[in-house]
Amino acid sequence: MAASRLLFTTTLVLATVLLSFSFTTRPAACSPASDSVTVSVYYETLCPYCANFIVNYLLKIFQNGLISVVNLRMVPWGNAWIQSNGTFVCQHGSDECLLNTIDACTITVYPDVIRHFRFIYCVERLALDGKHNEWTNCFEKTGLGTVPIDCYNSGYGNRIEQKYAKETAELNPRHRFVPWVVVNNQALQEDYGNFMTYICKAYKGKSKPEVCKSLSPKSESTEKVNSVHPVCYVALTFHKPYIHVCPVSLHGLKQMASSGLLFTCSTVFFSFLCFFLSPSNAFSSYPNDENRPKISAVGFQKVNLSLYYDTLCPSCATFIVKNLAGVFDKDLITITNLRLVPWGNSLVNKSNNAIVCQHGSDECVLNTLQACAIDVLRDVNKHYALIYCFEFLVIEGRHNDWKSCFNSLGLPEKPVLDCYVSGNGTKLIQKYADETAHLNPPHKSVPWVVVNNQPLQEDYQNFATYVCKAYKGNEHRGIKVPSTLKSQKANSSLVTLSLYYETLCPYCQSFIRNNMLKLFVEDLIDIVNLRFVPWGNARVLEPNKTIICQHGPDECYLNTIEACAINIWPDVVKPALFHQCSGIHLTIF
């Protein structure tokens, strides 16, 4: 009985809000005035931050009358992408693809913004409540017919979505996340929460709506949706319409979702974080600690791998994000004692004992915060994940957003900040300063990598090879020798197989799909050093060094993308999965 009463109350409240949309100053049948402000909202239906924005913020322009001067455009595509076979892939799964298309059909069938926004609001409200599967009820609640379902079933909805995909891909600047709000062609980016202020500034009509008078500069700074800017990030957006790729495996995404952890991948660098540090690989390899296999120190001696670095050093950030993550990807972490030492080229002013950092006071703060994270989050998987996130933000030029990393990773912020504020962080950093000062030989630069007391100096990027050489143990009680180590030991007997190809050659594509795949299926890859060379019959024109590809500029584009994939993912399995086509020259040495 109580459940029925709650359902009735919820339905009544929702119906009341939906009906309130009609109380606006613009008649439903009227088109927007010529001086109206165009507001475009690029979103995806199951992104929780899009739902929150639509339900709790965008709704206000209908309630306060601002809709009377706004041409509101809803674009339900977001971070989705189209595969080579024409199918849609959505960030939050097949349900999101369905609801994106239903929204697109509803917008088309009911072009009046008040009518289709009622429906979108209803669906997003259900999404926030975790009940998006009840979306068909929204037709009845909003008084709309079910024609959008016919639109979806006919396939016409897909054609509408393709138009939205093209529009989203051609945004300038490109969208980096959703919700992505554009006011009169001005992308609001992280400041989307202040969209009403931008509308009022952009409106050039004779009489501004009453609500604009209450939007003072003070409110602009305090009306933000959230200081952390909650959004659903794009995984990796190529500079080409229709092509969006998320390197995170669907299996990894399902594990993240089931664990309750939220990872947002904004670029290929964050994709490493999502893939290497997914709950199955890092935060909890076993459901309970007691189920973790017990190991003995006898016959199993880990290799010490120490990284001395500055937090705002670009080379250090790149190494941590691009290279060091390999210890997790290749299972090297099972034989490695990874130590991170955030001091680098800092020094202590002897006259006043003040710490001076090479890249300024922000670096001193981040060095200390990371020292606290290492101390508080003893598990290397956890503190490395946090440090990885910090350094990724450094690469993006957003190091001041470091607090967002705690929320993104589901890690506790308070104990780390307490360590920093209490002064304990300063004590920790002083220990790191002393350790760095006593390095033998002294470090000459950062990143400075040491494997079992052997400094790698300029060869630090090859740290995995040194780790494998230094490891003297064998498989032992639940610890498997990493495949990387096995390949290092057997490297001299591997057969080198080089594939020279171009990405849009149909014969290349057929070869890699029908023939090359057998290397992995039949385990031949264990004895093969496979090399991909994406160039083929391309050529360079003098004098301006323009690259000309046999199958046009798209092929040049994809050749370069695959070259980047090979460079970013040195493990041959990932580039092999990434490749769309293969080449025409095959040589065996």
pLDDT of 316 strictly over 90 = yes
pLDDT of 515 strictly over 70 = yes
Structure confidence at residue 180 (pLDDT): 96
Structure confidence at residue 326 (pLDDT): 81
pLDDT greater at residue 113 or residue 550: 113
pLDDT band at 264 (very low <50, low <70, confident <90, very high): very low
Q: Which CATH architecture has domain 250-286+301-486?
A: 3-Layer(aba) Sandwich (3.40)
Read off the pLDDT of residues 572-589 as tens digits, 9 standing for 90 and up.
Answer: 665 555 553 333 333 333
Angstrom CA distances, 54 to 103, 122, 171, 243, stand at 13, 10, 21, 27
How much is the mean pLDDT over the chain? 77
Among the residue ranges 177-181, 207-211, 275-279, 498-502, the one predicted with the least confidence is 275-279
501 token code pair: 């190809």
pLDDT > 90 fraction of the chain, expressed in percent and rounded: 44
- Other Cβ atoms less than 10 A from the Cβ of 475: the count is 11
Q: Rounded to an integer, what distance in angstroms lies between the CA atom of residue 519 and that of residue 531?
A: 13
pLDDT of 516 strictly over 80 = no
pLDDT of 336 strictly over 50 = yes
| Helix boundaries (H) for 398-444 | 404-409, 414-422, 424-437
Q: Rounded to an integer, what distance in angstroms lies between the CA atom of residue 191 and that of residue 172?
A: 16
pLDDT band at 381 (very low <50, low <70, confident <90, very high): confident
Q: Torsion angle, CA of 324/330/334/337, rounded to 10 degrees? A: -20
DSSP label of 207 = S
Q: Domain ranges for the chain, please list them.
A: 7-231, 250-286+301-486, 494-588
334 token code pair: 């099972």
Residue 498: exposed, middle, or buried by beta-carbon count in 10 A (0-12, 13-18, 19+)?
A: middle
Query: Which residues pair with residue 532 across a beta bridge?
Result: 499
The reply to whether 7-231 and 250-286+301-486 are identical in fold is yes
pLDDT band at 523 (very low <50, low <70, confident <90, very high): low
Structure confidence at residue 305 (pLDDT): 95
Q: For residues 135-160, give the mean pLDDT.
A: 92
Q: Rounded to an integer, what distance in angstroms lies between the CA atom of residue 521 and that of residue 34?
A: 62
Q: For residues 338-366, give the mean pLDDT.
A: 93
pLDDT of 540 strictly over 70 = yes
CATH class for domain 7-231? Answer: alpha beta
Q: For residues 285-290, give the mean pLDDT.
A: 34
pLDDT greater at residue 440 or residue 506: 440
Structure confidence at residue 63 (pLDDT): 93
216-237 CB burial, b ≥16 within 10 A, e <16: eeeebeebebeeebbbbbbbbb
pLDDT greater at residue 26 or residue 96: 96
Q: Rounded to an integer, what distance in angstroms lies between the CA atom of residue 38 and that of residue 70?
A: 6
Q: Rounded to an integer, what distance in angstroms lies between the CA atom of residue 513 and that of residue 182?
A: 42
pLDDT of 568 strictly over 90 = no
Q: For residues 507-525, give the mean pLDDT.
A: 74
Query: Which residues pair with residue 454 across a beta bridge?
Result: 451
Does the model's pTM come out above 0.85?
A: no
Read off the pLDDT of residues 419-478 as tens digits, 9 standing for 90 and up.
Answer: 999 999 999 999 999 999 999 999 999 999 999 999 999 999 999 889 988 887 654 333
pLDDT of 295 strictly over 90 = no
pLDDT band at 331 (very low <50, low <70, confident <90, very high): low
Phi, psi of 549 (to 5 degrees): -110, 150
Question: How is the beta sheet containing 180-183 ordered, strand by strand?
Answer: 70-76, 37-43, 180-183, 186-187
Query: Which residues pair with residue 76 across a beta bridge?
Result: 43
Among the residue ranges 41-45, 208-212, 285-289, 536-540, the one predicted with the least confidence is 285-289
- Other Cβ atoms less than 10 A from the Cβ of 528: the count is 16
pLDDT band at 527 (very low <50, low <70, confident <90, very high): confident
Contact of 238 with 245, CB cutoff 8 Å: yes
